Structure 1
Amino acid sequence: MADTRLIHGRYRLLELIGRGGMGEVWAARDESLGRRVAVKCLKPLGSQQDHAFARVLRERFRREARVAAALQHRGVTVVHDFGEFEGGLYLVMELLDGRNLSQLLQDHKGHPLPVADVLDIAEQVSSALAYTHQQGIVHRDLKPANIMRLPDGTVKILDFGIARLGADIGFTSRLTGTGIAMGTPHYMSPEQIGGAPVDHRSDLYSLGCVLYELATGAPPFDLDDAWAILVGHRDTEPEPPRARRVELPVYFEEIVLDLLAKEPGARPPDARELVRRLVAGRGLAPAPATPFAVAPPPVPTRGLPSWARGMTTGHKATGATPPDPAPPDPDGSLTGAWTTALPPVPPQPDRPPPPPPDLLAELGARHREGLGLGAAGRWAEAGEVHRAVAAERAQALGPDHVDTLVSQYEVAFALSRTGREADALREFGLVARARARTLGPDDPATLDARQETAYVLGRLGRHFEAHQEYVSVLDARERVMGADHPATLRCRHNLAFNLGRLGRLEEAHRMAREVAADRARVLGAGHPDTLVSRYEVAYVLGQLGRWVEALQVYREVAAARATVLGADHRDTLAARYEVGIALGRLGRSAEALQLYRVLVEDRTRVDGPEGPETLRARHGLGVNLGRLGRWEEALAEAREVGALRERVLGPDHPDTLVSRRESAVGLGWLGRWAAALTVYRQVADARERVLGADHPDALASRSEEAHCLERLGRGAEAAALYRRVATVRQRAGRQGG
């Protein structure tokens, strides 16, 4: 390729920085936006492939590339664009300046990385996997060469979607009839070796192999014979890491050994749990440091299936290549160094000196700590960490620096997760305006902040404003990304959701069904995003009073999520909760009550007895106790759940107020109207304070307060309050129209 070659008149290839079995990686310049990018050019399909297969492969590539482009996480390489040029497929990604973990281990000449670095990398990679697995995406080829560390300490996973594409082309994780040798077996899970289906737990096993090597200097099964390595993965228990390096923390060794469990079900259930354990473990004192020696693991003797015959070992991370490798990728795939060091930027005398690298690295580590707390559901703590980091980044880098705005965005996100929607709205607005100034109004990051702004507007009951913002963002996403981009489909989904809150139920139902169909076409019928849209279809059917249909769709979604995500996944459990809602609405409260009893047990096992979703299931149980006329039990349940929510979520959190309102309902049914009035009034005051006097929930609480006054014989006060509510509703309706 000539260094002046242009792809579609936009991406000018400048310098080859990697070559492997699937193609080449080039440093390039995006002529349209004037930025440096990396372009991965996959090899053109050879003549041996028939045209039908080529068409299937191209469609699979587009699907995988769209999914990869939709990933928005600091720990995942950003995919900007993709397409086909002169018979070859290509991806355009951010150009990273850093060293992959394979190179870092080579830099240490076969010695392990410092313990603090190993723990930091473990936490960052776990956080990125928690995000991607939540999107239903499995990497399938996690290894040191696929993980890069940047100068500021940020760790990024490379090549999401490429492993699956490689399997289609023929670069599989197992031998095919053509005799193609697989890549390195040092990081393969037992289920990959056996040819069984893989899910997110295969990535966790591979991560365990990577962490083992970073911490000890060698993979868990460090042998020259490929068969022995694979048998080790399949049949042999790894030597505990602290037997090789005693200064490793005990909790870290336990995590790594759990990740290396032979059976997927014996590993941690997901990467979120891994983040939680790593964050919690940082509070434990490490074992005292002493010299260590690496002992060879036992040599297994059992044979392997016939597909592995003739296979080579491939390269492990340590000792595989010279310290300064040439552009060809030693691993035989495009997963080595993605960038070369760029020429140094000349000093700018009119600009202040850059902040010290140590400070940036510290702020990066604290930012990742906040992400870990959020992944563990500890949103209040996460928000405090992000707020402090945002302030320090603003001082060190400037208020409009991309990293400052990333931290400010996370502050807003945490606020929205703790019920502080008004504060979140202000923060998202600031981020959106700053990103529009610095990145441009149509940049994906700007549109992300605007879309979150619309979401929070909806949470505040300002659905008309939310609708206008969604329409504007959707127009930009379709123009910039295309109608089938996952981010565009997500915006259409949100717009459908908001149409339902505007009372435009038929439109909402039609749009939700269209988005579900488009997501099924682009992402697949079992993709989590597709199931989210089907979930919304069910919700709107319920709003339309079509509860029989809603129940059927909720059950289908719950069954599909159990198959795709697992029976204990939070989305599966959420769908089961909605099945209970539909049963209650159909008057089948006894069935709903039984469902919620089981769901409370499952939620308690998964989220703990005070987890917000556990308490939500208990709330549903209490509601159905009331529907069955068991009001004393219902009142006791509502009060207990309300007290727990107040302690866990805060006194003004929407869920806390819902429980307090349910207590008032129970008091009313028991004829204790004076006590009910007090609670309704407290709930109305809180909702007005948090959501605003014209929010539908605040107005509903005032109407319930008026009903109590009426039941207590205070008709004049009740009439005055009803008139006040009607006036506010009319004013809000005129503004919305």
Structure 2
Amino acid sequence: MGESRLIHGRYRLIDLIGRGGMGEVWRARDESLGRQVAVKCLKPLGQQQDPSFMRVLRERFRREARVAAGLQHRGITVVHDFGEDDGILYIVMELLDGRNLSQLLDDNRKDPLPVPDFVEIADQVSAALAYTHEQAVVHRDLKPANIVRIADGTVKICDFGIARLGHDIGFTARLTGTGIAMGTPHYMSPEQIAGGTIDHRSDLYSLGCVLYELATGVPPFEFDDAWAVLVGHRDTAPEPLRKRRPDLPEPYERIVLDLLAKDPDDRPRDAAELGKRIATARAPQSVGAGLPAWATGMRIGAGARPARASRTPSRGAVGELTGSWTAGFEPDRPEGTPPARERPTPSPATLAALAGRHNAGLSLGRLGRWEEAGEVHRAVAAEREHVLGPDHRDTLASRFEVAFTLSRSGRFADALREYEAVAAGRERTLGPEHADTLAARQETAYVLGRLGRHFEAHQVYTAVLAARDRTMGADHPDTLRCRHNLAFNLSRLGRLEDSYEVAWEVAAARARVLGERHPDTLVTRCEVAYTLGRLGRWPEALRTYQDVAAARAQALGSDHPDTLAATYEVGISLGRLGRSAEALTLYRDLVAARTEAQGAEDPETLRARHGLGVNLGRLGRWEEALAEAREVCALREKVLGAEHPDTLVSRREVAVGLGWLRRWAEALSMYRGVAEARERVFGPDHPDALASRTDEAHCLEQLGRAAEAVGLYRRVAALRQQRGTQGH
């Protein structure tokens, strides 16, 4: 292949950057978008292959490449495009500025990596595998050469689907006479060696082999003979890591040895559980401080410089403090702040400590400990602003995480202020159409929607979508995600036909690009079903939700949270169609499944119980319905807080039950309390606040207080008219 070769009339090959058994990797220029990319060209297929085999191979390639292109996580290499050009199958990926783990070990003269590097790599890879395994995607060839640490410290897994393609094409070497695919023998699981069933636990074993090598400098079975390596994986217990590396903390040795269990059932259940074990090992709680021990000494509150309202990149593009800052750039700064060029250069130890604390905050978030994660990110943001400046990408990265934790905690107004500042900071430093700027603006739109400000959200989504179309193309996963969000927001604006049309188009595009059963396709089909319900087309909505639930059950299992979420929507549709007895049975089963999987006080368990109570009421069993609503309301207040939207929904359901039991005075007090809370949280003209005031007026009518009811109805009408005027 010459340097001037143009692939598919678009990708200009510049120079060869890698070669292996599967083919070549080139640095290339995307002539359409003017950006540099990596193009992996698989070996020419040749003319000697059987035509029917080639058809199957091409279809397998398209399917595997679609799956890889659909993986959207900061720890997964982004796949931009794929296809076939003159008999060569090619995949276009992001060009990574970094070193794979084999190269890092070579750079370190095969000595073990420092413990903080080992832990950080383990944490990031486990998070990426947790995501891919949730998508029912197994890597099959995890090894140091397929894991890259880029310049900003982010760790990315490469080559999803490539190992299986290599097996199909026949490029992998085989042991003579055995029929066992060699792959990379130092990192193969016992079940791969035996030719058995491969699932996500095989990836966990391979990760154990990688971590063993990072921690000790050698793989768990280091022999010159490939057969001896395979026998070691199958029959021999690995030498404990601390015999080779005494300074390695014991919890990490235990984690690696558990990953290397011969029986898949003896390994961690999944990568999510592995991530929790790593987070627990690296972040023990400090006594009485309210923060983990590693946060000791972080300056927060009055002792830290206040973090200015400026924001950062997308959730999937967390910056680490290892990159250089823009030379000569001097952003706007508060009076008294020294110019950027006068700011002292922070020491590498300071930068490393802040990077570790930032990532520990991410670990807390993955554990669902959002309040603690937010405190950590706020402290790190203040420290980073002090040493790097308010618009440094890493300061903005921490501020973005602050906003994310606020959003996950239901503090949407606070999250909005943070996201707006991050978007402004990124626009100043990266430009208005940089992917990270657009990601922050898209999060801004999401939070606006959660605040009921759907018209403003619509304006932001429309602008971001136009930019994504220009810079990424209509079928890029990020573009489709933005269009999906736009459809969601259109339905909240009451533009149901528009929402249905956009959602249907996104579902079709995702099915074409990613596949009919891809999780993102199914998410959009759920949005199609939701809009069908809002349009009163409940039979179609029910069928769509049932299809999604069945597809998720097949791919993920009947007790997977996404499957249960679709099942919940099936129950909603049954209730709307007057089939409340069926809905009641469904919700009882759903409550049992949610309780077993997530616990009795999990928000999703409580949501299922709420649905159960609603359908008890529809069946006229109001005493039971009221009792259920009171219990759910009390639990939601305990778990989520007194003014969380879900708590207020339950409080309203209590009022509904009181009304049906003719206890109007009690219902009035409850409706009024809900209305006041919603006005405090969302504002007086939010649709939910207006609906609560309408409920209050209805109670007043039932109590014979007609004049008060009329006054309240008029107030609601005026607010609705005012809101409609502002929205146009």
Report Cα offsets for 1:260-299 as digits up to 9, x if no partner.
34555554343222222221233559xxxxxxxxxxxxxx
Q: Is the 1:190–1:233 Cα contact (8 Å) retained in structure 2?
A: yes
Give the equivalent residue in structure 1 for 2:490. 499
For the structure 1 residues 433 and 638, does the alpha-carbon distance in structure 2 shift closer, same or farther, using more than 3 Å as the test? same
Name the amino acid aligned to 1:96. Answer: D
Query: How far apart, CA to CA, are the structure 2 residues paired with 1:81 and 1:395?
Result: 41
Report Cα offsets for 1:77-127 as digits up to 9, x if no partner.
4556667677653534233234x3334444555554444433222112112
**More deviation, 239-248/89-98:** 239-248
What RMSD, in angstroms, separates the aligned Cα atoms of the two structures?
3.8
**More deviation, 485-494/62-71:** 62-71
For the structure 1 residues 56 and 128, does the alpha-carbon distance in structure 2 shift closer, same or farther, using more than 3 Å as the test? same
- Secondary structure of the structure 2 residue equivalent to 1:361: helix
Give the equivalent residue in structure 2 for 1:97. 98
Give the equivalent residue in structure 1 for 2:417. 426
Match among 663, 669, 674 for residue 683 of structure 1:
674
Query: How far apart, CA to CA, are the structure 2 residues paired with 1:595 and 1:458?
Result: 30
Match among 368, 371, 374 for residue 380 of structure 1:
371
Give the equivalent residue in structure 2 for 1:310. none
Q: Does 1:281 align with 2:272?
A: no
Name the amino acid aligned to 1:155. Answer: V
Give the equivalent residue in structure 2 for 1:588. 579
- Secondary structure of the structure 2 residue equivalent to 1:230: helix
Match among 594, 597, 603 for residue 603 of structure 1:
594
Give the equivalent residue in structure 1 for 2:158. 158
Equivalent residue pairs, number: 681
For the structure 1 residues 71 and 508, does the alpha-carbon distance in structure 2 shift closer, same or farther, using more than 3 Å as the test? same
Matches within 5 A, 1:198-209: 198-209=198-209
What is the Cα deviation at residue 42 of structure 1? 4.2
Query: How far apart, CA to CA, are the structure 2 residues paired with 1:649 and 1:425?
Result: 20
Matches within 5 A, 1:590-669: 590-669=581-660
- Secondary structure of the structure 2 residue equivalent to 1:186: helix
What is the Cα deviation at residue 680 of structure 1? 1.8
Report Cα offsets for 1:488-528 as digits up to 9, x if no partner.
22222222222322223333333333322222221112211
What is the Cα deviation at residue 529 of structure 1? 0.8
Q: Is the 2:139–2:161 Cα contact (8 Å) retained in structure 1?
A: yes
Q: Is the 2:65–2:91 Cα contact (8 Å) retained in structure 1?
A: no
For the structure 1 residues 97 and 637, does the alpha-carbon distance in structure 2 shift closer, same or farther, using more than 3 Å as the test? same
What is the Cα deviation at residue 175 of structure 1? 7.2
For the structure 1 residues 479 and 15, does the alpha-carbon distance in structure 2 shift closer, same or farther, using more than 3 Å as the test? closer
Q: Is the 1:431–1:449 Cα contact (8 Å) retained in structure 2?
A: yes
Query: How far apart, CA to CA, are the structure 2 residues paired with 1:593 and 1:441?
Result: 50
For the structure 1 residues 266 and 509, does the alpha-carbon distance in structure 2 shift closer, same or farther, using more than 3 Å as the test? farther
For the structure 1 residues 505 and 450, does the alpha-carbon distance in structure 2 shift closer, same or farther, using more than 3 Å as the test? same
For the structure 1 residues 457 and 151, does the alpha-carbon distance in structure 2 shift closer, same or farther, using more than 3 Å as the test? closer
For the structure 1 residues 371 and 163, does the alpha-carbon distance in structure 2 shift closer, same or farther, using more than 3 Å as the test? farther
Q: Does 1:144 align with 2:122?
A: no
- Secondary structure of the structure 2 residue equivalent to 1:399: coil
Give the equivalent residue in structure 2 for 1:305. none
For the structure 1 residues 655 and 262, does the alpha-carbon distance in structure 2 shift closer, same or farther, using more than 3 Å as the test? farther
What is the Cα deviation at residue 686 of structure 1? 1.8
Q: Is the 1:554–1:576 Cα contact (8 Å) retained in structure 2?
A: yes
- Secondary structure of the structure 1 residue equivalent to 2:368: coil
Matches within 5 A, 1:255-654: 255-262=255-262, 264=264, 267-283=267-283, 352=343, 354-654=345-645
Gaps of 5+ in 2: 286-321, 330-339
Query: How far apart, CA to CA, are the structure 2 residues paired with 1:69 and 1:353?
Result: 42
For the structure 1 residues 370 and 78, does the alpha-carbon distance in structure 2 shift closer, same or farther, using more than 3 Å as the test? farther
For the structure 1 residues 8 and 506, does the alpha-carbon distance in structure 2 shift closer, same or farther, using more than 3 Å as the test? closer
Query: How far apart, CA to CA, are the structure 2 residues paired with 1:255 and 1:402?
Result: 33
Give the equivalent residue in structure 2 for 1:18. 18
Name the amino acid aligned to 1:656. Answer: T
For the structure 1 residues 674 and 181, does the alpha-carbon distance in structure 2 shift closer, same or farther, using more than 3 Å as the test? closer
What is the Cα deviation at residue 59 of structure 1? 6.8
Identity %: 72
Give the equivalent residue in structure 2 for 1:215. 215
**More deviation, 197-206/234-243:** 234-243
Give the equivalent residue in structure 2 for 1:671. 662
Name the amino acid aligned to 2:397. Answer: V
- Secondary structure of the structure 2 residue equivalent to 1:91: strand
Name the amino acid aligned to 2:710. Answer: A
Matches within 5 A, 1:88-127: 88=88, 89=90, 91-98=92-99, 100-106=100-106, 111-127=111-127
Give the equivalent residue in structure 2 for 1:293. none
- Secondary structure of the structure 1 residue equivalent to 2:610: helix
Give the equivalent residue in structure 1 for 2:187. 187
For the structure 1 residues 44 and 180, does the alpha-carbon distance in structure 2 shift closer, same or farther, using more than 3 Å as the test? farther
Give the equivalent residue in structure 2 for 1:332. none
Gaps of 5+ in 1: 286-340
What is the Cα deviation at residue 235 of structure 1? 5.5
- Secondary structure of the structure 2 residue equivalent to 1:24: strand
Query: How far apart, CA to CA, are the structure 2 residues paired with 1:439 and 1:224?
Result: 50
Query: How far apart, CA to CA, are the structure 1 residues paired with 2:348 and 2:56?
Result: 47
Q: Is the 1:70–1:485 Cα contact (8 Å) retained in structure 2?
A: no
For the structure 1 residues 9 and 631, does the alpha-carbon distance in structure 2 shift closer, same or farther, using more than 3 Å as the test? closer
For the structure 1 residues 350 and 453, does the alpha-carbon distance in structure 2 shift closer, same or farther, using more than 3 Å as the test? closer
For the structure 1 residues 515 and 355, does the alpha-carbon distance in structure 2 shift closer, same or farther, using more than 3 Å as the test? same
For the structure 1 residues 566 and 211, does the alpha-carbon distance in structure 2 shift closer, same or farther, using more than 3 Å as the test? farther
Give the equivalent residue in structure 2 for 1:295. none
Query: How far apart, CA to CA, are the structure 1 residues paired with 2:556 and 2:615?
Result: 28
- RCO comparison, higher one (Cα < 8 Å, 6+): 1
Q: Is the 1:386–1:410 Cα contact (8 Å) retained in structure 2?
A: yes
Q: Is the 2:98–2:148 Cα contact (8 Å) retained in structure 1?
A: no
Query: How far apart, CA to CA, are the structure 2 residues paired with 1:234 and 1:555?
Result: 43
Query: How far apart, CA to CA, are the structure 2 residues paired with 1:411 and 1:717?
Result: 44
Q: Is the 2:33–2:471 Cα contact (8 Å) retained in structure 1?
A: no
What is the Cα deviation at residue 141 of structure 1? 1.7
- Secondary structure of the structure 1 residue equivalent to 2:474: coil
Report Cα offsets for 1:614-639 as digits up to 9, x if no partner.
22222222323333334344333333
What is the Cα deviation at residue 236 of structure 1? 5.5
Query: How far apart, CA to CA, are the structure 1 residues paired with 2:31 and 2:642?
Result: 53
Query: How far apart, CA to CA, are the structure 2 residues paired with 1:173 and 1:535?
Result: 44
For the structure 1 residues 198 and 716, does the alpha-carbon distance in structure 2 shift closer, same or farther, using more than 3 Å as the test? farther
For the structure 1 residues 541 and 28, does the alpha-carbon distance in structure 2 shift closer, same or farther, using more than 3 Å as the test? closer
Query: How far apart, CA to CA, are the structure 1 residues paired with 2:116 and 2:417?
Result: 37
Name the amino acid aligned to 2:417. Answer: R
